[in-house]
């Protein structure tokens, strides 16, 4: 009689993103009114594992809260991104 061995492997991946900034990026989100960390579109895309173009699209259709800096940089509300991604 043949013996059968079953091996189960579980893998967990965790991504930690740390930024070094000269100024504090926590501001009041103009949409939800919470004090949140604002992310660049590239940072949001990295967290969401998608392209920056997708992040822009989600902002356009209202799925993400965002604001623009005086220089025209789009900043995304980390709270709304977390809710969208269920994290």
Note the pLDDT of residue 9.
86
All structural domains of the chain: 26-85 (1.10.1660)
Is the pLDDT confidence value at 21 over 70? no
Cα Rg of the chain, angstroms: 18
Q: Which strands, in side-by-side order, build the sheet including 74-77? A: 26-28, 35-40, 74-77, 66-68
Note the pLDDT of residue 7.
86
Note the pLDDT of residue 41.
95
Query: In the structure, what pLDDT confidence band is assigned to residue 20 with cuts at 50, 70 and 90?
Result: low
Residue with structure tokens 């989100």?
Answer: 29
**What integer is the mean pLDDT of 23-52?**
90
Note the pLDDT of residue 22.
43
């Amino acid at each position: 009689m043949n013996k059968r061995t079953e091996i189960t492997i579980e893998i967990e991946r965790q991504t930690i993103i740390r930024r070094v900034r000269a100024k504090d990026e926590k501001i009041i989100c103009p949409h939800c009114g919470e004090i949140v960390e604002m992310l660049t579109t590239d940072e949001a895309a990295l967290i969401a594992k998608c392209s920056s173009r997708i992040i822009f699209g989600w902002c356009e259709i209202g799925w993400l809260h965002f604001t623009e800096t005086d220089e025209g940089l789009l900043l995304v509300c980390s709270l709304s991104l977390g809710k969208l991604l269920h994290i």
